[in-house]
Amino acid sequence: MRWASKTRWWLAGLALWAGLVGSAAVAQAAAVQFRLMVGTTDPYYGYIRLPAGIVQVWRHGQVYRTVGIRQGFTTLNLDNTGTWLLDIVANEFDTRHFRLTFGTNGNFQATNVDERNQVLGVGRNADGSYFFHYMGRGVFILDPSDAGGPILGPFMDRYHVEPAYPVTWGASENQNGLTYTREFTFADPLVAMPGMIVRWTYPNATVRTYFYVIPAERYVAGGLFWSSQFFRLDTANGLVWRLERYFPASFIRALPTGVHVMSYQLQDHPSGARSNIRRESITVTR
């Protein structure tokens, strides 16, 4: 598997953080809801939720509504027609500008107006609301975590943050097996070392859930192995959570062909508070 170019990762990779690309389908209705987590990035602390701010919602050239950002969270209720402009305003950074454009079929696209209308990643929260992802110039907008829970940043390799492009496991993996490593920047307000929940959704919608503590390493029946660790890099925001798994060839050959979705989420102990979610798709072929 080859990583994408390391230049301007925060623009190139946002469309795949969410597991969706470019636009999201919204059922035809009078209104849709967006739930977002907003904050700033810091080289040492990683991700810090915005204490307070506002979202100015523009429609037809005038401010339609002003919505508060409180402790890093905001909820927007919008009609699913036409175009909406969102200004994210806070003392901590220059105002950021975004556009939500709805099509006649209810689909929408999110773009970053400040970066030549760069298309952003979008997706759906567990409660049915929607989100878009942005990270750049010291600011992040993500799907919401639990209040007070950890914040999970993007996929990365040892020295650079990377977009999570779709992965294919094919003939080589079927024959040789695979050591599969995932690293994420993260922050935890409790200054704790949260565990990692991984949900593996198979093509037939079967879901298997795994929980990994940190730091640790384990051998699993069938020749599987996993290890976890954390560390700090000068090139990353905050700490890095690293999960390495070895899947033997026999395990990969037994997987059904098709698209598998892997989701990653941190969980604090003993509070149980959970982070936002990172997702990737893995296509298994023969």
How far apart, in whole angstroms, are the C-alpha atoms of residue 121 and residue 11? 10
CB 161 within 8 A of CB 10: yes
Task: Look at residue 190 in the predicted model and tell me its pLDDT.
Answer: 76
Using DSSP, state whether 145 is helix, strand or coil.
coil
Kindly state whether residue 93 falls inside one of the protein's structural domains: yes
Token readout for 147 is 């209040």
101, 125, 144: which is the final residue of a domain? 144
Q: Is residue 158 located within the same domain as residue 136?
A: no
Q: Is residue 106 located within the same domain as residue 185?
A: no
Q: Is residue 106 located within the same domain as residue 50?
A: yes
Q: Is residue 170 located within the same domain as residue 257?
A: yes
Q: Which residues of the chain have pLDDT under 50?
A: 1-21
Structural domain range at position 242: 154-284
Question: What's the gap between Cα 13 and its chain centre?
Answer: 10
Q: Is residue 19 located within the same domain as residue 140?
A: yes
Q: Is residue 137 located within the same domain as residue 181?
A: no
Q: Is residue 138 located within the same domain as residue 161?
A: no
Q: Determine the length of the chain.
A: 286
Q: Is residue 161 located within the same domain as residue 250?
A: yes
Task: Look at residue 7 in the predicted model and tell me its pLDDT.
Answer: 34
Task: Look at residue 22 in the predicted model and tell me its pLDDT.
Answer: 53
Token readout for 145 is 């975590």
Domain count, the chain: 2
Task: Look at residue 233 in the predicted model and tell me its pLDDT.
Answer: 78
CATH code for the domain of 161: 2.60.40
Task: Look at residue 189 in the predicted model and tell me its pLDDT.
Answer: 79
How far apart, in whole angstroms, are the C-alpha atoms of residue 6 and residue 125? 28
| pTM of the predicted model as reported, rounded to 2 decimal places | 0.85
